[in-house]
Amino acid sequence: MQFELTKEFINNLISALESEDNSYIVDAINPLHPADIAEILEIVDLPQAQYLYQLLDEELASEVLVEIDEDTREQFLESFSAEEIAESIEKMDADDATDVIQDLPEDVQEEVLEALKDEEHSSDISMLMNYDEDSAGGIMDVDFVSADWNWTVKNALKKLREQVENVDQVYTIYVVDSSNKFKGILSLKRFLYTSDETLIKDIYKKDSISVLASEDSESVALKMEKYDLVVVPVVDENNKLLGRITIDDALDVIKEEAEKDYQMASGISEKVESSDSLFVISRARLPWLLIGLIGGILGAYVIGFFEYHLKENAVMATFIPLILAMGGNVGVQSSAIIVQSLANNTLNYESIFKKLFKELLVALFNGLICASIALIFCWITRSDFYLALTIGVSLVAVFTYAGLFGTFVPLILNKYKIDPALATGPFITTTNDIIGLLIYFLTGMALYF
């Protein structure tokens, strides 16, 4: 049965922590999934969380430590010695252990690695730490099962029994040659159904998908999604098998990228959490707010430039919010579609022109509908045909411009290796505001002033 974290449970647990009722705490916590325990540790006060963690057995403690949010893990581990952290890391897979260690200060990282008793485990972690954390090598697991393609099924079964001890889940068998070069995969079903004396090289699947250790982790996650893979092997430039990436790691990458893109689209220039300091949060938000400020000042100058005409035709000012709002909305919609296509790798050279043309038609069509409604409304309420015509023509022009601009900007940013998610934030709305005002007033000069 799935555990449900209730307010009553938390209150009872906090009372037990305050009174140091260890037997109640252990009985309440031990049956839970590590992810649920990690959630509880992030809810209670830090000293209480650290006290509770010390009551867990070593294996459960290591599983919980992996589940704790990486942005709060460093603070959580501050009161623990390098030896205590190493005890938990001994029980982890190398990739999880690497994630935990990399959240620590550099001096503590070295102390923890030196405190590890298992030299092979320490070596694996050190090797993984040499890879960029956003690369396939940075998220791969070095524990897997492999078979030499010259082995017989009978011999392979004996060897695999020795390997599987260190592997949590076996999805498939990786086939290698005597130099550990990756050759393909062998499904467990076919392996178990094949006669003992059959050679592995006669039954494995060739031309299997693999990824380079240097490949971007987001690219790997998208590749796994595209080909419906639950696990993918990782190789080096010489095609030697290094490790594997499982679907749970790919999901973590997709989640992190989605959070980053969402924050970028909101005008936050770096990943931040609510637990970050005031300075860090301010530093992440301020750059795009300053761009918005500059854009607003430029917009004010545009309005000021047409101040004389506005004094003579003050009614024009009442429709400025309409022009600005519609231009910003259209630009964000168009850019969001393109950013999504770029993120999913569904946009190629041939489809770019189709997308551009389609976005142009959509913007034009929606512009005509909204302009017609605004024109009729303005004509009825103001009894001024030329004002209504100015509003209508301006909206069509703003819709068309904003749609094209919102489509082009992500493509240009992507070409120059800049995150296209930036296009859906304040940058595009600020630019559309300035151009929208110019379109509105120039149309007014032509038709109304």
Residues 115 and 240 reside in one and the same domain: no
Residues 439 and 311 reside in one and the same domain: yes
Who wins on pLDDT, 355 or 261? 355
In a domain, 263, yes or no: no
Residue 269's pLDDT band (boundaries 50, 70, 90)?
low
Who wins on pLDDT, 2 or 364? 364
Span 157-164, average pLDDT: 89
pLDDT of residue 429: 84
Residues 242 and 367 reside in one and the same domain: no
- pLDDT of residue 200 exceeding 70, the answer is yes
SS3 state of residue 61: helix
Residues 432 and 309 reside in one and the same domain: yes
- Taking a C-beta distance cutoff of 8 angstroms, is the pair 38, 52 a contact? no
pLDDT of residue 426: 74
Burial class (CB in 10 A: 0-12, 13-18, 19+), 182: buried
pLDDT of residue 5: 82
Residues 310 and 224 reside in one and the same domain: no
**pLDDT tens digits along 18-68:** 999 999 999 999 999 999 999 999 899 989 999 999 999 888 999 999 999
In a domain, 136, yes or no: no
**pLDDT tens digits along 203-231:** 999 889 999 999 999 899 989 988 999 99
CATH code for position 214? 3.10.580.10
Residues 26, 31, 34, 35, Cα dihedral to 10°:
-110
User: Which amino acid type is present at position 313?
Assistant: N
In a domain, 261, yes or no: no
Span 387-400, average pLDDT: 94
- pLDDT of residue 326 exceeding 90, the answer is yes
Strands 173-176, 231-235: pairing is unpaired
Minimal CA–CA distance to 233: which of 317, 142, 311?
142
pLDDT of residue 409: 86
pLDDT of residue 63: 92
In a domain, 141, yes or no: no
In a domain, 267, yes or no: no
Span 305-334, average pLDDT: 90
Residues 414 and 326 reside in one and the same domain: yes
Instruction: Domain of residue 303: give its range.
Output: 278-447
pLDDT of residue 447: 85
pLDDT of residue 273: 63
Give the chain's domain count: 3
State phi, psi for 144 to the nearest 5 degrees.
-160, 175
In a domain, 217, yes or no: yes
SS3 state of residue 3: coil
Residues 357 and 421 reside in one and the same domain: yes
In a domain, 140, yes or no: no
In a domain, 271, yes or no: no
